[in-house]
A = this chain, B = another copy of it.
Amino acid sequence: MGEFDLIARHFTRAAPSGSAVVLGVGDDGALLQPTPGHQLVISSDMLVEGRHFFPGADPERLGHKALAVNLSDLAAMGARPIGFTLALALPEADDTWLAGFAKGLFALADACACPLVGGDTTRGPLNLCITVFGEVLPGRALRRDAALPGDDLWLSGRTGEARLALALRRGEAWARGDLASVAERMDRPTPRLALGQALAGIDGVHAALDVSDGLLGDLGHILRASGVGADVFVDALPVAPALRGLDERHRLDCMVAGGDDYELLFSASTASAPHIDRIGTELGLNVTRIGRLVPAEGLRLIDATGQSRLAQPLGFDHFGSH
Contact = CB atoms under 8 A, between A and B. Distances in A.
Interface of A: 2, 22-23, 26-34, 36-37, 39-46, 48-52, 73-74, 76-77, 79, 83, 85-89, 117-120, 122-125, 127, 129, 131-134, 136, 138, 141, 143-145, 208-210, 225, 321
Given A32-B40, A32-B41, A48-B124, 4 more contacts: A28-B43, A29-B134, A40-B40, A46-B88
A31 B40 contact: yes
A153 to B, nearest CB: 17
A32 B42 contact: yes
A68 to B, nearest CB: 14
Q: Which of A42, A76, A122, A136 has most chain B Cβ within 10 Å? A: A42
B39 A33 contact: yes
A88 to B, nearest CB: 7
Nearest first, the 5 closest Cβ-Cβ pairs linking A and B are A48-B124, A129-B129, A46-B87, A29-B43, A125-B125
Contact of A36 (B29, B36, B136, B225): B36
Contact of A125 (B23, B42, B124): B124
Contact of A28 (B119, B125, B144): B144
A87 B45 contact: yes
Given A85-B44, A88-B46, A29 B77 contact: yes
B143 A27 contact: yes
In the complex this chain forms, how many copies of it are found? 2
Q: Which of A127, A131, A145, A321 has most chain B Cβ within 10 Å? A: A131
* Chain A, interface SS category: strand
A29 B41 contact: yes
Contacts of A141: 23, 29, 31
Nearest to A43: B29
B29 A73 contact: yes
A39 B27 contact: no
Contact of A127 (B44, B46, B86): B46
A76 to B, nearest CB: 4
Nearest to A139: B22
B34 A40 contact: yes
A86 B321 CA distance: 23
A79 B29 CA distance: 10
Contacts of A44: 85-87, 118-120, 129, 131
A224 B305 CA distance: 73
B42 A118 contact: yes
A313 to B, nearest CB: 17
A131 to B, nearest CB: 4
A77 to B, nearest CB: 5
Given A2-B321, A52-B122, A129 B46 contact: yes
A83 B44 CA distance: 13
B85 A28 contact: no
B48 A89 contact: yes
A25 to B, nearest CB: 11
